[in-house]
Amino acid sequence: MKIAIGSDHVGYELKPTIIEYLKELGHEVTDFGAYSTQRTDYPIYGKKVAKEVAAGHFDRGILICGTGVGITISANKVAGIRAVVCSEPYSAELSRRHNNTNILGFGSRVIGPELAKMIVKVWLDAEFEGGRHERRVDEMDAIGNNDDQAFEAIRTSEDDKYLDHC
C-alpha cells in the first residue's frame, strides 16, 4: 500500500521505527513531517496527511503526536477522512472492519514502539466488512461533507447495498 505518515515534534522520535516497519512489511511510505523535534503544531501534519489520503494519493495515513488525539481530531476535520486514535489492537482492527478507517493515529507518550507496531499491523491487515456497516460509514461521510440532504437520503434509502443494516 501507499502510506502517508506524519507527526508533530513529540511523535517525531517514534516515527522512524514505524516507517522502517512499514517498509519491512512491503509498503511504500512518504513522510509529511515534522522533520525534527523543534516545537510545532500537530494540526499542520494532521491536515497534510488527511488531504493526501482524501485526494486518493495514498491508500492510508498514519499520524503520531503525544497522545495521538490532537493530530487525529485534526485529520477528522477533512472530508472523506475516518481517523481513529488507538492504544490497543482490538479497536484498531474493529475500526477497519466496521468503520472503514483510512487513518490510524497513536500517541508516542501513550504506547511504546512494539505495541505501536502490533497496532499498525492489525490495522493494515483488517478489511472493511461492508454489509450493515456500509450505511453508517456513508452517513459519517455525509456529516463530513456537511450534506444533511445526502445524510437523510442515505438514512432512508432502500438501496440494495443498504438492506443488510441490522
What minimum distance in Å lies between the beta carbon of 65 and ligand RB5?
Answer: 4
The CA distances from residue 104 to 38, 62, 73, in Å, are 23, 5, 11
Q: Tell me whether the omega of the peptide bond preceding residue 34 falls within 30 degrees of 0, making it cis.
A: yes
Q: Which is nearer to ligand RB5, 9 or 135 (CB)?
A: 9
Q: Which is nearer to ligand RB5, 72 or 100 (CB)?
A: 72
> Residues interacting with ligand RB5, by CB under 6 A?
8, 10, 42, 65-67, 69-70
What minimum distance in Å lies between the beta carbon of 151 and ligand RB5?
Answer: 29
| Distance, C-alpha 42 to centroid of its chain | 15
Cα–Cα distance for residue pair 111/129, rounded to 1 Å: 28
Q: Which is nearer to ligand RB5, 57 or 77 (CB)?
A: 77
Residue with cell 493530530: 71
Residue 86 known to be catalytic: no
Q: Which of 68, 75, 61, 7 is nearest to 39 (CA)?
A: 7
Q: Which of 30, 83, 84, 78 is nearest to 51 (CA)?
A: 78
Q: Which is nearer to ligand RB5, 42 or 162 (CB)?
A: 42
Active-site annotation holder among 9, 27, 65, 86: 65
Tell me the catalytic residues.
65, 98
